[in-house]
Structure 1
Amino acid sequence: MTTPREPATQDHPPLEHSASTAPFDPYAADRLATDQGTAQATPGQIMWWRFRRHRLAFASGIFLCAIYASILICEVLAPYSLNRRNTDYIYAPPQAVHVIRDGQLVWPYTYGREMTLDMENLRRIYRDDTDDVQPLRFFCRGDPYEFWNLIPADLHLICPAKGGELFLLGTDRLGRDVLSRMIYGARISLTIGILGVSMSFALGIIIGGLAGYHGGTFDLLVQRVIEVLQSIPSIPLWMALAAIIPVTWSPILVFIGITVILGMLDWTGLARAVRSKLLALREEDYVLAAKLMGAGSGRIIRRHLIPGFMSHLIASATLTIPGMILGETALSFLGIGLRPPITSWGILLTEARSVNIIALYPWLMAPVIPVILVILAFNFLGDGLRDAADPYK
């Protein structure tokens, strides 16, 4: 006697039941579209998406774009002209900006100042006069200047009250506003980094590219020259070359000379990186195909090999510019770089060479702050670009 067969149990529920009980994913369609978009994206787009996810590097890039944009309008941003002297406020400390008065929110203002002489310590003592309220003015008329030495103008972003003074970062030994001179100095310090890197990149790509592509005797000669240059300490070499610049040169010629020195001494690391990349890429099939089609070595390097690691070059540039800025700052601080009337961050720091000056007037060290911020921003940006350009990440 056969027992009735039990209905077979289903290992998997029906499709309708599975669809009704599966958790709903509202982002599934977005992820599918993203995956399809990534598959169709160009390498530049993928690099940009990776870079945006690096928040610190992205914020550093925005900061650097803003500070480089500011050098285009530094005359407008500075409260005073570059060489404006206020002999009544020599070594004046920074002023505080207030927005609350008698418990109420008011227009930004500063207090006037009273100066007395401390004959015992031979110092000027400044005290705020709380009865002298000086409202700040924005987008106002102030010291006249020539915008980019071309257009006469007198518009400033911020100005003191009429008849008052505004020194947000204090003044120096000649009564010049430290903040205004820092803003003007950014134009020189930041520009010399860009120009120096452009020169070093041109030398590094050309010399390293030829050495890596052709090899042979030229490659051996280039490697020996690079080893000799890299074995010499940087700062003594900079000092020796900068001391060669004649004292009679104009400020513009000195600026060009310092830029050339920094660019000619910083190409060795990039040349080695380009050489190693080209040694690996010159054996690829597309290089052989270009040769068979009659392309010359210059075209192959320029159109086929260099673009293959352009992202690496961009990341290297962001890490090289800080060295240029620090080199100019060090040379100018030591007195063998740029010279007045040119103003840079290094020249401003010469005001704080003495320990006694730093102890009595610490605000003269304020130019160190933008140097540190710019160097850190370039390093963070370089790290982000390097990670975004890594094809194995």
Structure 2
Amino acid sequence: MRIDRRALLGGATGLAAAALLPRAAWAADKATGEAMGDDWIVINALGGLGDPNRRGEADPFSPRVLAEAHASGLTAVNCTFGYVSGPGDPFEISVRDVAETDALLRRHEKDLLKILSAADIRRAKAEKKIGIIYGFQNGAMMGEDASRVDIFANLGVRIFQLTYNPANQIGDGSMAPENRGITPFGREVIARLNEQRVMVDLSHSGERTCLEAARISKAPISINHTGCRAVADLPRNKTDAELRLVAEKGGFVGIYFMPFLDVSGHARAEHVVAHIDHAVNLCGEDHVGIGTDGSVTQIDDLKVYEAALAEEIAQRRAAGISATGERPDTYPFVVDLRGPDQFRKLARLLREKGYRTARIEKILGTNFLRYAETIWGS
């Protein structure tokens, strides 16, 4: 079960000596009127929920995790489930993961809601719950049978990322050197995803794979967590051609809070703003949002975290799934944009950049909601 995709890293969301931010800090913007309103819909197009300080627990939804998620203002988050890499049968792993998560959400129904439609996101907001969107980050579980799309759609999977960093039977990932496009089987999968009204996500894909998918798909596609290669030239970031085409087709682009936002690997909040600004200027303000690739729970002990990070990077390299720019000294989060206040801080920074309130609301959630209505229906 992968509510928090980075099981070892606990979501890679924060860098803090203290366990929790004071609750007064979360509420500070109410008094100043400088950040986001309580009525805003905030959607993380790729993230997770979990406690990085208590790894390996069967139930990631501790009281602390739930409290910080609520305090952050989060309305819904696309969480990664199923197979990404490693041993075992990808199909079996993915089915089991979805079933186990369904059971967990039933256990926490007062706080969490499984998202099947755009209306469910609005319902989560109205009922003061956190919406959990089921998503995949690797199409390996398809095997050679595109009809498996139907199985997972019926199980409630709403976002399907075609590849991870390497190539698979659908297409090439961002680290596949050949930069081949969508395979014939990949075309079948995309057609089936369109029929089932499942989002086609091209995060982690190679450039040609992304461009071809955007043209092949009968529905708009998304790149739920990425950066802009024109701002930081690294393979995990998307070229202007990819970003522009996705927007022209009516899709969605989510900017992540990851080290790839700066070629040094040490990304800060200013880099997040720079990538959002580039994407907005290129794609238009109706097609850009956030997909942080992290959660909102703070990390209590940095030294323990750094040891886990070094082990994780070594494992990813050995498995052949790491990306250029990943190193033990590059935290997979933005050091000054983390924890329960991350969305409010981003709103403040965008306001300081000159963004008006309506545009900031779009970026923090309503653009994804609009896109979800297009794909899933209202």
Give TM class, smaller chain.
under 0.3
Q: TM-score, normalised by structure 1?
A: 0.20
When normalised by structure 2's length, the TM-score is: 0.21
Higher relative contact order (CA 8 A, sep 6+): 2
